[in-house]
Each structure stands twice: as C-alpha cells, then as structure tokens.
Amino acid sequence: LGPDEVRWFYKSDSDKRWIEFSGYDSLRIESKYRNVYHDWQYYNKYSNKENSSETYSEQYRIVVRGGMYEVDLNTCKCDSIYWPGEECAITRGIWFYDGSWIPVDTECSNILENVHLELFFGKKLSDYITEPCNKTPKAVLHTESFTEFHVDWYSPTEVYQYSEAAPSKLVRTFTQRLGFQKSTGYRLCRGYKVHATDYDRPVDITHLVFVIHGIGQKMDTGRIIRNTSAFRDCVTWLKQKYFASSENRVEFFPVEWRSSLKLDGDTVEAITPHKLLGLRQLLNSSAMDIMYYTSPLYGCEVQRGLLEELNRLYTMFTQRNPYFTSSGGKVSVIAHSLGCVIVYDIVTGWRSDLWQVNKCNSVELFNFCVFQIDNLFCLGSPLSVFLALRMRDPQAPGQVETILPPSLCKKFYNVFHPTDPVAYRMEPLLLRDYSKIAPLQIQAYNATVRIDYKDMPLEPIVPEITSSNDCSSSVSKHREGLEEMEADSPSNTPSKAWNIWGLMRWNKKPQDEAEGRGSPQFDALPAGHHQRLDYVLRETNLAGSYFSALTSHTAYWNNYDVAYFVLTRLFPDLE
C-alpha cells in the first residue's frame, strides 16, 4: 500500500471509538513510521549511546491535530501538548471492516497484510476476475485461523472474516453474489476508503476557549480534561453536521488549577472525624474548595493558582502560534460553578480587605493575561450569590457598572439547568424587575425553526400552580402585568438608562417620581445593544426530581444544546 492508502486513527476519550487523523497528519505519521520501521534494526544494533532512547523518542514524535497533540510512535500514544494527563491510543489502519470502516486490530491486521503479500505480491488482479455469468462457486485460496475467527481469501479484493462460533438462524444466510454457500461473514477491505492528501488538514485556530473547572477537581483528578474533551467532541460533531464549510476553528483548553495547590497542608484531613469518613472525605475534596476560596488565608492562593495556569497556557499557545493575535484571533472563557466566581474576581481585580491584610505571603497584585475576553460563558454559576453578599444594594446608582464593567468581557452569558441547585440568575441582581421575567430558553440544536435570541419577547414567570382552577387566572394576571409595563413605555426620546449589556430597565417618569408612583416602563434600546444575560436549558422528564438536582450541575459538558449555543455565540456568522 502507498502512504496515502494507509490511515492512522486515535481513540476518542469520551466513547472509545476510533477517529481518523486528517489526511495531512496521517501522511506525516506514516512517513515517520516507515522511517522507524527501516531504521529500527540499525538503531538496536549500533546505538549504545547514553540517553539514546530519549533522543530516538524525540526524533519520532510528530505534532498532529492542528498543533494540539503529539504522536509518539514508540509508545503508540497521542498526548496533549499543552496540558498533562490527556493520552489516547493510536493505530495504523491497513485492513478495515467494510461499511463501518473500523480498522482491524493491529496484531491481526499485520498478520493479514503479511499473508496477503505472500499470496498476491507481483501478481495481476485481472488473473482473479471471473465472468459475471459464471455461477461456479469460488474456491478459497487461503484460510488464516485466529482464536475466535478465521479469514478466507477468494481473490485479492474478496476477503471475508468468519466467526468460529456457530451462527444463529437469524444470521444463517447465503452469499449468492459470490457463488458459494456459506454463512455470511464480514468483508474486509485493504486500504482506507479515502486516500490521504496534504490538503486535508485543519485550518489555523481562530478562537481559543479556556475551560475552567469549579469544585471537586481534587476528588476526581483529570475530570476537567475529560469534560473538555466531551464538550469538544460535541462541538466538532455539530460543526461537521451543520457548518462543514465554515473556515472558523475553535479549540478548547482545559484549565486545571486545583491539583497544584497545597493550601492547608492536610490540616483539614487531620481534624476530620473517622465516623462517616467516606462522606466527610467527599465533602473535603469538593465543597471544601468553597471554604478555601472564601478564606482570608487561602483565597488569593486559589486565584494565583488559576492565574498562573491561564498565563502558562496562553504564553505557550502564542509562542507556538505567533500570528494568532495579529490575524484577529479571539479568546473566550467557559467557567463552571465556583470557577465563574474565581475568574470574575481575577479579571475585575476583586479581593477582600482580609486578603489584603494577610497578603497571602505575597505583596504583589495579580495581573490578568494580556488578552481581552470576548465571551464569558458561566455554566451552573453561583456568581450572583457571591456578588449579592458583597454589597448591600447592588442596584444603587453606579453599582451596575461596577458589577459588570465593560472590561470584564464583550459578551456575558449565564447558562444554567432549571434544576441545578448551585446555579443562580444574574439579571435580577442588576435589575430587580427581571425577577418577574423568565430567562431565555436555549433552543434545541436540531430545531427546524430558529429564532434569533435578540428577537425573543420578554415572557413573564408564571408561578407553579397548586390548583388547576388557578392556572388560567394566574397566567392571565402575569401577562397583563407585562403588557401594562410595555404599554407604559414612553414614545418620546428615551431617558438615560443603563444598557451596556442591553438589558431593558424600567424607569419612572418625572411626574411619577414627584407623585411617588412607580409605574415600571421599558426604555427603548439602541440597535445592536439588546442582549440578555440569563439562558436556561430545556427541562427534561426528570425536571423537579431529586435525581435531576443531583446530576444537573454536571450535565452541561455532554449537552448538544449548550454546545450549539456556545459555537454559534463564538461565530455569530454561522447563523
């Protein structure tokens, strides 16, 4: 086979299936592989230098997957370049199962290839072609037996794998097109269905997204890497299905800030009682992160841990991609749970007075990375609760701009599951009247009719109905209230209302203030400024159950609705 007929694969971390490398990557891996194959005997025979194995290993490592990973042909592994802990197996595909094009196991594939070359090398394919009208059963040219199956060759292009187990009645069919009576097996194909080319390669990264975890990382080391990988797989699938022609490329970088922090030096573990030890250790490894962060002693250590990892990743990325910034590359952040609070505090420069008194063994102030956050996605975020507890009146004059300054990010999205017990809304913190307005519902990724979020009307929140008789009157009452607010909207020039984030603020007319009345009104918004902050996922059949409450906080990573929402916010031109 030529290098272009061979295809290399890596194993998905989420569902353990084989995923093909791009043609460009596969050709480069195959070229290196052939060099390794021919140089291997020479290397083992003549190389006895100290550290020669390390030199040899580096010589046959290939950067793949758009500069994000590296293949090691010695270990047959693919490792992440930017973050430790993510590793997957690779395989060289020569023989494949027809239809699915899943590569045959490496050991078996090598045996098949050797047998095939022994049978047909130097011979012509035309020697094995029979006339279509010839009904004579084809003879088996060769049979190769394995533990659980055997493989029969009828010609260079007709190779079948048969299970050694007795076939059931359901699968006991006959292969008439081959002219012989035998239980149907799997047809094996030599060479991949598509030839590899240098043109089949990913475009340069246009949008970099840092994914920041919340609590519990110490309890399950590497979870943020797996979650990011699962989310990346969702986005990749959606992009290939709906936006295959797009030249945009996004990459997601997991930011693991917890495992490097020592914090209390195991003091908490020492004072933990042994009764219900398993439950206590679970809490120490998860919920304790909240206490660490609110601690005047360890809070800024947590901030430093996240900041240093962000700076390390961004610096390493820009060194390997020197034209990213000049070519218009953008940076966004997806933060989950407590991670939303930490990244908010780092960017805005918030820290308590107690932190400044203790100085956390350091007098320097933190400096955020040099990039501007384009989009900040908060998933299952308790940020609004933390902010509410830091100020007595969040809606006092000037407070709104302090809470969400323009320097925080260009666009802010608070995404939550309706039963997530950790998540809170953001809009009512800034404008109290939004407690009566429902958050926007994130549309299904496969919706046939799609509405632009900025065109979605304000919908009143209808309280849960305990009696069916109260249902219609309750809905009617809330809708009438909303219509009344809309009807009172001034038709003249709008008054000066805060609209940095595009929220509608209800203002009082001057005569209302003089008379002590507070009829709420909508301010007209300038074009292009309307953007809501709160976005809720669709409810499932388990909504409201305790099981849903336990699982919803971590349900964002495999959710295709969330992935579609993020993808189309990163690249608005896709819709």
For 298-327, the pLDDT digits (tens) are: 888 889 889 999 999 999 999 999 999 999
In a domain, 113, yes or no: yes
Asked if 208 contacts 251 with a C-beta cutoff of 8 angstroms, the reply is yes
Q: Residues 152-157: what's their mean pLDDT?
A: 93
In a domain, 508, yes or no: no
Q: Quick one: 326 and 235 in the same domain?
A: yes
Asked if 319 contacts 88 with a C-beta cutoff of 8 angstroms, the reply is no
Residue indicated by tokens 């979870």: 223
Q: Quick one: 234 and 149 in the same domain?
A: no
Which contacts (CB < 8 Å, 24+ apart) does range 287-292 have? 287/215, 289/214, 289/215, 289/216, 289/217, 289/218, 289/258, 289/338, 290/215, 290/338, 292/263, 292/264
Q: Quick one: 94 and 155 in the same domain?
A: yes
Asked if 65 contacts 202 with a C-beta cutoff of 8 angstroms, the reply is yes
CA angle, residues 562, 567, 568, in degrees to nearest 5: 100
Active-site residue (options: 26, 285, 295, 337): 337
In a domain, 199, yes or no: no
Coil vs helix vs strand at 250: strand
- Among the three residues 146, 163, 190, which one is the final residue of a domain in this structure? 190
For 388, the token pair is 């509410």
Query: What per-residue confidence (pLDDT) applies to 170?
Result: 43
Q: Quick one: 289 and 376 in the same domain?
A: yes
Distance CA 94, CA 196 (A): 13
Distance CA 303, CA 182 (A): 68
pTM: 0.80
pLDDT at 392 over 60: yes
pLDDT at 168 over 80: no
Q: Show the beta-strand stretches assigned E in 384-490.
A: 411-416, 440-441
Q: How confident is the model at residue 67 (pLDDT cuts 50, 70, 90)?
A: very high
Amino acid identity at 237: W
For the chain, give the mean pLDDT.
80
In a domain, 303, yes or no: yes
Q: How confident is the model at residue 4 (pLDDT cuts 50, 70, 90)?
A: very high
| List of residues 6+ apart from 155 with CB closer than 8 A | 128, 129, 138, 141
Instruction: Kindly tell me the burial class for residue 111, based on how many C-beta atoms sit within 10 Å of its own C-beta (0-12, 13-18, 19 or more).
Output: middle
Q: How far, in whole angstroms, is CA 478 from its chain's centroid?
A: 38
Cα Rg, the chain, nearest whole Å: 31
Virtual CA dihedral for 511, 517, 519, 523, nearest 10 degrees? 40
Find the range with the poorest average confidence among 25-34, 206-215, 349-358.
349-358
Distance CA 172, CA 203 (A): 48
Asked if 72 contacts 79 with a C-beta cutoff of 8 angstroms, the reply is yes
Q: How confident is the model at residue 6 (pLDDT cuts 50, 70, 90)?
A: very high
Distance CA 191, CA 250 (A): 31
Coil vs helix vs strand at 374: strand
Query: What per-residue confidence (pLDDT) applies to 471?
Result: 47
Coil vs helix vs strand at 189: strand
Q: Residues 246-256: what's their mean pLDDT?
A: 95
pLDDT at 112 over 50: yes
Q: How far, in whole angstroms, is CA 137 from its chain's centroid?
A: 53
- Among the three residues 124, 155, 190, which one is the final residue of a domain in this structure? 190
Query: 26 catalytic, yes or no?
Result: no
Amino acid identity at 534: D
- Among the three residues 155, 190, 225, which one is the final residue of a domain in this structure? 190
Number of domains in the chain: 2
In a domain, 492, yes or no: no
Find the range with the poorest average confidence among 108-112, 281-285, 353-357, 419-423.
353-357
In a domain, 146, yes or no: yes
Q: Quick one: 39 and 165 in the same domain?
A: yes
User: Which of 433, 428, 432, 353 is closest to 390 using CA atoms?
Assistant: 353
* φ and ψ at residue 416, rounded to 5 degrees: -150, 155
Exposed e or buried b per residue across 227-262, where buried means at least 16 C-beta atoms within 10 angstroms of its C-beta: bbbbbbbbbeebbeeebeeeeebbbbbbbbbbeebe
Q: Quick one: 9 and 74 in the same domain?
A: yes
Distance CA 475, CA 572 (A): 34
The CATH number linked to 262 is 3.40.50
Q: Residues 139-151: what's their mean pLDDT?
A: 92
pLDDT for 196-238, tens place per residue?
Answer: 999 999 999 999 999 999 876 666 678 899 999 999 999 999 9
Q: Quick one: 155 and 234 in the same domain?
A: no
Q: Quick one: 235 and 296 in the same domain?
A: yes
Q: Quick one: 228 and 180 in the same domain?
A: no
In a domain, 515, yes or no: no
pLDDT for 432-473, tens place per residue?
Answer: 899 999 999 999 999 999 999 989 998 998 776 555 555 455
Q: Residues 387-402: what's their mean pLDDT?
A: 86
Q: Quick one: 243 and 165 in the same domain?
A: no
Q: Residues 67-95: what's their mean pLDDT?
A: 93
Q: How far, in whole angstroms, is CA 366 from its chain's centroid?
A: 28
Distance CA 226, CA 265 (A): 27
In a domain, 323, yes or no: yes
Find the domain containing 173 and state its range: 3-46+57-190
Q: Quick one: 156 and 212 in the same domain?
A: no
Q: Quick one: 214 and 130 in the same domain?
A: no
